[in-house]
Amino acid sequence: MKKTKIALIGAGYIADYHARGLQLLPDVQIVAVVAKELEEAKEFADRYNIKEALTDISSLVTRDDIDAVIIGTPNKFHAPYAIEFLNNGKDVFLEKPMAMNSEEGELVSQAAKDNSQLVMVGHMWRFDTEVNYLKSVIDSGTLGKIVKTKGYGIHENWGPAGWFTQKELAGGGALADMGVHAIDTVRYLLGDPKPVEVYAKIGTYYGNYDVDDSGIIMITWDNGTTSIIESGWWQPHMDGEEASTQLFGTKAYASLFPTKLKLKINDTVGEFIPTMPEKTEHCDQPIYSEQMKHFIDCIISRNKPINGISEGMTVLNIVDAAYKSSETGKLIKLSM
Digit-coded pLDDT (tens) for 131-188: 999 999 999 999 999 999 999 999 999 999 999 999 999 999 999 999 999 999 999 9
Whether the model clears a pTM of 0.95, i.e. scores above it, the answer is yes
CB 177 within 8 A of CB 195: no
What's the one-letter identity of residue 291?
Q
Query: Residue 223 and residue 157: Cα distance in Å, rounded?
Result: 36
Same domain, 184 and 80: no
What are phi and psi for residue 162, nearest 5 degrees? 65, -145
Number of independent structural domains in the chain: 2
Same domain, 61 and 166: no
Residue 329 pLDDT level (bands cut at 50, 70, 90): very high
Counting residues of the chain whose pLDDT is more than 90, the rounded percentage is: 97
Looking at residue 177, what is its pLDDT?
98
Q: How many angstroms from the chain centroid is the CA of residue 90?
A: 21
In a domain, 297, yes or no: no
Same domain, 141 and 91: no
Same domain, 106 and 186: no
Query: Residue 273 and residue 336: Cα distance in Å, rounded?
Result: 37
In a domain, 232, yes or no: yes
Same domain, 8 and 115: yes
Residue 1 has pLDDT above 80, yes or no: no
Residue 335 has pLDDT above 90, yes or no: no
Q: Mean pLDDT, to the nearest integer, of 243-265?
A: 96
CB-based burial label for 196 (10 Å; 0-12, 13-18, 19+): middle
Query: Which one, of 81, 112, 79, lies nearest residue 97 by Cα?
Result: 79
Residue 24 has pLDDT above 90, yes or no: yes
In a domain, 309, yes or no: no
Query: Residue 192 and residue 310: Cα distance in Å, rounded?
Result: 10
Looking at residue 261, what is its pLDDT?
97
Query: Residue 73 and residue 13: Cα distance in Å, rounded?
Result: 10
Report long-range pairs for 273-281 (Cβ below 8 Å, ≥24 apart): 274/133, 276/129, 276/130, 276/133, 277/129
In a domain, 308, yes or no: no
Same domain, 52 and 131: no
pLDDT in tens, 273-315: 999 999 999 999 999 999 999 999 999 999 999 999 999 999 9
Query: Residue 137 and residue 117: Cα distance in Å, rounded?
Result: 34
Indicate the residue among 121, 145, 176 that finishes a domain.
121
Question: In 146-267, at which residue ranges do the beta strands (DSSP E only) sit?
Answer: 146-156, 195-203, 214-221, 226-235, 245-249, 253-256, 260-265
In a domain, 298, yes or no: no
Q: What is the CATH number of the domain that holds 94?
A: 3.40.50.720
Residue 336 has pLDDT above 70, yes or no: no
Same domain, 83 and 200: no
Query: Residue 159 and residue 25: Cα distance in Å, rounded?
Result: 33
Looking at residue 69, what is its pLDDT?
98
Domain that holds residue 12: 4-121
Q: How many angstroms from the chain centroid is the CA of residue 258?
A: 20
In a domain, 57, yes or no: yes
In a domain, 302, yes or no: no
pLDDT in tens, 35-94: 999 999 999 999 999 999 999 999 899 999 999 999 999 999 999 999 999 999 999 999
Same domain, 116 and 140: no
For 266-279, the DSSP string reads TTEEEEE-------
Indicate the residue among 88, 121, 154 that finishes a domain.
121
Residue 212 pLDDT level (bands cut at 50, 70, 90): very high
Looking at residue 211, what is its pLDDT?
98
Q: Give the pairing of strands 119-121 and 91-94.
A: parallel
Indicate the residue among 71, 92, 121 that finishes a domain.
121
Residue 241 pLDDT level (bands cut at 50, 70, 90): very high
Residue 266 pLDDT level (bands cut at 50, 70, 90): confident
